[in-house]
């Protein structure tokens, strides 16, 4: 059984610490093990990052950009290997893993523009012979804590921009599928990054708490569940750190009576069941306005779902794979059981899928549940599995109130042909990312990603322009060089241009 270690100061470290099994979710078997970092191991990684910081901070942005350009080339050249590692440990189908990687690469591309992104503002003669400008300086050692569902993409939301801005980085990825994350970080080293600028420590709460409590870490980025996001944000802030913590979601799609139902069904299939629903932007609730729209939606979804294929990552004809662990599979099935017990109608039942040759895998088939109500636990909670629930309402106002009343505000969309309705929806809905006939409105790399309400703790969103702001601090300089022989007397009034 191979052992997955840490990357510290350019070297892979596998000795010391507890070990945890890493499963192939398609087979249900433990095929690797990962070393979990002790407090001392994390502190060593932080120390190496801090030691590397002065030289990296002073490296010209254009040289940092050149490393990012080379990193992009290496990611593309090694795409098959990266996708294979994702599939082996996450279960994501190869075409979905390729999409995850491409989204990550786009963030690297954005970071390649760092010489332009770090240009400050300059004003000449703000006063007699006085010039003023602002510049963006790095923070120091920055940390990232990332989830299992996107082991490549989410880390690439964080450290390319942090490093391009002149910071050094310590990454704590999910211990459930760490191989692809480690491999990608090694490619960044291969691209020419100096030792200590990127460090990867695998671990659990001990590693997380060390990062949160160490005063050398100046900022923390996190993506995961809302309870953990709130804990990380609260702890980091108490320790004087800058923090952005992205939490959970319960993403709704409103299906209006005038919607193109066939198009909505096709869009919902991928948005609800892609990656086994293990996406923070997965559409898990369809809110149908009127029984006619609901009946048509449920009927057509039921027919379309007959062709869904769940299976192993290496078969590209499969639509989605297993969920991450046996415990998570049982949790998803428990929500289906709960909805049924509460009176909902399980139209398509994915609780016992048959996957030939992979009978011990952690599979849940695509599930469609109709006549769900907001009082049901399965509606209130984030299921994070291949389950689409249908809630019926009478008006668009009811649908929007349903979305606004939920504690999460990550993503949402509306299916309609009515431009007025779409504009009203996008203007007034209390959600951070909105799609109009677009089911997964994930912003591109040169915008920023983040929800509202309890889906985000912190003021700045992830990647894009907010990524630059999060990873830098603004400094404003005002200067004057008095002319020779000219001396002004002392002034005790507040300086103005009046």
Active site residues: 280
Angle between helices 419-428 and 396-405 (to 10 degrees): 20
State both tokens at 155.
Answer: 């880390």
The residue assigned the tokens 């830098």 is 472
- What distance in Å separates the CA atoms of residue 5 and residue 376, rounded to the nearest whole number? 43
The arrangement of strands across the sheet holding 121-127 comes to 121-127, 130-138, 472-480
Residue 358: how many CA atoms within 13 Å on its side-chain side? 22
- What distance in Å separates the CA atoms of residue 204 and residue 182, rounded to the nearest whole number? 16
Phi, psi angles (nearest 5°) of residue 437: 60, 20
Q: What is the signed CA dihedral for 217, 221, 227, 232, rounded to 10 degrees?
A: 10
Instruction: Please list, in sequence order, all residues whose beta carbon lies within 8 angstroms of the beta carbon of residue 81, skipping any fewer than 6 positions away.
Output: 183
The arrangement of strands across the sheet holding 29-35 comes to 2-4, 29-35, 19-24
Instruction: Please list, in sequence order, all residues whose beta carbon lies within 8 angstroms of the beta carbon of residue 128, skipping any fewer than 6 positions away.
Output: none
SS3 400: helix
Within 10 Å of residue 101's Cβ, how many Cβ atoms? 24
In order of 60, 178, 426, 468, the CA distances from 118 in angstroms are 11, 32, 32, 8
Residue 323: how many CA atoms within 13 Å on its side-chain side? 25
Within 10 Å of residue 240's Cβ, how many Cβ atoms? 8
SS3 134: strand
Residue 38: name the closest of 50, 46, 48 by CA.
46
Helix ranges (H only) for 92-149 are 94-111, 114-117
* Bridge partner list, 411: 433
- What distance in Å separates the CA atoms of residue 312 and residue 319, rounded to the nearest whole number? 10
State both tokens at 415.
Answer: 């299916």
DSSP state of 281: T
* Bridge partner list, 138: 472
């Amino acid at each position: 059984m191979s052992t997955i270690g840490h990357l510290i100061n350019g070297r892979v470290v596998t000795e010391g610490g507890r070990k945890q099994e890493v499963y192939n979710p398609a087979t249900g078997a433990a095929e690797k093990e990962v070393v979990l970092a002790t407090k001392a191991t994390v502190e060593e990684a932080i120390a190496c990052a801090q030691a590397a910081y002065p030289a990296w901070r002073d490296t010209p942005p254009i040289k940092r950009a050149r490393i990012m350009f080379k990193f992009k080339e290496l990611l593309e050249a090694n795409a098959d290997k990266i996708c294979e590692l994702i599939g082996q440990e996450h279960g994501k189908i190869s075409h979905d893993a390729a999409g995850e990687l491409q989204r990550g690469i786009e963030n690297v591309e954005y970071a390649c523009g760092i010489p332009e992104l770090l240009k400050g503002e300059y004003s000449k003669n703000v006063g007699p012979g006085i010039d003023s400008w602002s510049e963006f300086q790095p923070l120091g050692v920055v940390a990232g804590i990332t989830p299992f569902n996107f082991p490549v993409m989410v880390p690439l939301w964080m450290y390319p921009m942090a490093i391009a801005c002149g910071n050094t980085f310590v990454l704590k990825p999910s211990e459930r599928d760490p191989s692809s994350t480690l491999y990608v970080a090694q490619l960044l080293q291969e691209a020419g990054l100096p030792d200590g600028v990127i460090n990867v420590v695998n671990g659990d709460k001990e590693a997380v708490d060390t990062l949160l409590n160490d005063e050398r870490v100046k900022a923390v980025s996190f993506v995961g569940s809302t309870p953990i996001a709130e804990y990380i944000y609260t702890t980091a802030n108490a320790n004087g750190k800058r923090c952005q913590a992205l939490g959970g979601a319960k993403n709704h799609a409103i299906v209006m009576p005038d919607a193109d139902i066939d198009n909505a069904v096709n869009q919902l299939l991928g948005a609800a069941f892609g990656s086994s629903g293990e996406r923070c932007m997965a559409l898990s609730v369809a809110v149908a306005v009127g029984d006619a729209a609901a009946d048509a939606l449920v009927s057509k979804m039921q027919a379309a779902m007959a062709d869904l294929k769940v299976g192993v990552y290496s078969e590209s004809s499969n639509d989605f794979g297993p969920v991450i662990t046996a415990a998570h599979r049982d949790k998803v099935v428990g929500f289906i059981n709960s909805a049924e017990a509460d009176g909902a109608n399980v139209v398509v039942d994915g609780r016992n899928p048959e996957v030939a040759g992979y009978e011990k895998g952690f599979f849940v088939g695509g599930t469609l549940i109709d006549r769900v109500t907001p009082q049901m636990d399965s509606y209130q909670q984030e299921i994070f599995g291949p389950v689409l629930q249908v809630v019926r309402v009478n008006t668009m106002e009811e649908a929007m109130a349903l979305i606004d009343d939920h504690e999460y505000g990550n993503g949402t969309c509306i299916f309609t042909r009515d431009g007025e309705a779409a504009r009203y929806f996008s203007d007034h809905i209390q959600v951070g990312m909105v799609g109009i006939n677009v089911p997964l409105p994930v912003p591109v790399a040169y915008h920023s990603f983040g929800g509202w309400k309890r889906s985000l703790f912190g003021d700045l969103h992830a990647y894009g322009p907010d990524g630059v702001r999060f990873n830098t601090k603004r400094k404003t300089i005002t200067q004057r060089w008095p002319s020779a022989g000219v001396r002004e007397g002392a002034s005790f009034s507040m300086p103005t241009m009046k």
